[in-house]
Structure 1
Amino acid sequence: MPPTLVLIRHAQALHNVNEKYHLPDPNLSGTGLKQCLELREHLKTALKDLDVGLIVVSPMRRTIQTAILSLDWLMDAGVPVVASALWQENSAKPCDTGSPIAELEEEFPMVDFSWVDAVYPDKTSPAGAVYAFNRKAIVGRAQRALGELRGRDEKAVVVVSHSGFMRQGMTGCWFFNADYRVFEFEGEGLGLRQWEATRKGGLGKSFEERVVVGEGIPEEDKVPVGA
């Protein structure tokens, strides 16, 4: 049976404050640190009946920090944390472009970065085209991310990722900072069925409205080189 997926958006980061999108790979804000503590206490109860066997993080500082602060109790119980470039955010703005893996390995030794594509954090060259900011690449990447997890043996996997990617590329659902949703794989494919209890987010902070997957992402042939 495929694993249950717990999809978490990172807590508030510095670029979320007054839209400072020029900040490269920003850290969590003071508010974000507090949100992690709230999420931590909630998840310790909400996930107690799920046998979480793996934590996957986007290899960006804000997602890794959110995982470490909110899921340390799972890590202390031996649940491994792996980074995957498939779960990074959509755009190629500085705030959505990651840091060199060598830096992150030194900063976060508790995370396994062996899954991360060697091209990371490139999104703009031909080599990084799979991570480009266009509809085909993002929706395709989301399918790869789900396919990678669907075949795993764990009963439940927790993922810490980004609102834009999870909404526009994968689920159609909005995610508030440090809120989460729980999904099951539906049928034999990569379709997802959300738990009714999380339709407004597990913390009740996210919009209930949904969007069409792919909506708001430019078509491939309309994206200028280096965008």
Structure 2
Amino acid sequence: MPPTIHIVRHGEAEHNVGYNVQIPDPSVTTKGMTQCHELGQTFPHMDRITHLVASPLRRTVQTAHWAFIDPVPAAQQQQRSILALGELQECSRYPCDIGQPLAKLAQCAGFLDVSRLEPSWNLKTGIYAAAEPEIKKRAERARTILRDLARGVADQEGDDAHLVVVSHGTFIQYLIDRPDLRYGHFHNCEYRSYKFVDLYGEDPKTAGLVETNESFYRRYGPLNMRTPEEADDLILAERSST
């Protein structure tokens, strides 16, 4: 079985209170910190996380750290870092969605891995532009990177491998693409779990994600649980749409 990708929306941040988009790169609120700690206490695969990946914005890095690094023993904390991916940043050009320059983020070395960040990641130009065609390209590239990471641990750990991805409410909708867009917005610190339809494919357009039955059950309960046949149909539909 392929590794599981757990996609998390950040904890409540300052701009979420009153929707003040003019706050530059806002931090998580006190309530958001509590949400992060609660997620860290309830996430069932904490010991089997092989990769912790996050948007480089302040609120997503804080969420990744407080929810998935702070709860583990000190010895494990030293072995776990956050891989910053500019592709996972939020979509708009508002100050709340513009991150810090690479040079400043590099000062967080020790827990934040910025090796994949481009110097232009926070300029909202090129593939990082706040325009839907570029956002879709960025989501496709993010899925390809995540698929490569998942493929790297699949042979050793298979379905015991769990990758955690912390991103933003709007961008997540592009990241998960069809068919889950119709299932609604993520709440702060909500996570949903996915597997790649074609883990070993080379075409970026085949790097689709399908929500697991277990994740679907968490949100909708046993009365709305997909049957195995429905799950298979969902995978076939995803494959046919690429």
1:9-28 paired onto structure 2 within 5 Å: 9-28=9-28
Distance 1:90 1:182 in 2: 22
1:131 matched to 2:148: no
Q: Is the 8 A contact 1:58 1:88 kept in 2?
A: yes
The match for 1:112 is 113
Deviation at 1:109, TM superposition (A): 3.9
Deviation at 1:203, TM superposition (A): 11
Q: Give the counterpart of 1:159 among 165, 179, 188.
A: 165
Query: Cα–Cα, structure 1 residues 133 and 190, in superposed 2: closer, same or farther, change >3 Å?
Result: same
Matched residue count:
197
1:169-184 paired onto structure 2 within 5 Å: 169-171=175-177, 172=181, 173-184=184-195
Secondary structure of the structure 2 residue equivalent to 1:70: helix
Q: Normalising by the residue count of structure 2, what TM-score does the alignment of the two structures yield? A: 0.74
Structure 2: gaps (5+ residues)? 154-160, 222-242
Superposition misfits of 4+ residues, deviation over 4 angstroms: 200-204
Q: Is the 8 A contact 1:2 1:151 kept in 2?
A: no
Counterpart of 1:70, as a letter, is A
The match for 2:196 is 185
**Identity fraction in percent:** 32
Q: Deviations over 1:158-179 (max 9, x none)?
A: 1111110011443325210011
1:198 matched to 2:232: no
1:30-45 paired onto structure 2 within 5 Å: 30-43=30-43
Q: Is the 8 A contact 1:143 1:170 kept in 2?
A: no
The match for 1:52 is 49
Secondary structure of the structure 2 residue equivalent to 1:118: coil
Name the larger-Rg structure: 2
Q: Deviations over 1:118-177 (max 9, x none)?
A: 112100xxxx22011122111111110111121221332111111100114433252100
Deviation at 1:100, TM superposition (A): 1.4
Taking only aligned residues, the RMSD between alpha carbons, in angstroms, comes to 2.3
Q: Is the 8 A contact 1:58 1:64 kept in 2?
A: yes
Counterpart of 1:84, as a letter, is L
Secondary structure of the structure 2 residue equivalent to 1:151: helix
Distance 1:70 1:54 in 2: 14
Q: Normalising by the residue count of structure 1, what TM-score does the alignment of the two structures yield? A: 0.79
Deviation at 1:77, TM superposition (A): 6.8
Please say which of residues 17-26 and 153-162 is displaced more in the overlay.
153-162
Structure 1: gaps (5+ residues)? 205-227
The match for 2:58 is 61
Query: Cα–Cα, structure 1 residues 115 and 202, in superposed 2: closer, same or farther, change >3 Å?
Result: farther
Secondary structure of the structure 1 residue equivalent to 2:194: strand
Distance 2:6 2:170 in 1: 16
1:70 matched to 2:81: no
Structure number with higher helix proportion: 2
Distance 1:107 1:14 in 2: 22
1:75-86 paired onto structure 2 within 5 Å: 76=77, 78-86=79-87
Please say which of residues 17-26 and 102-111 is displaced more in the overlay.
102-111
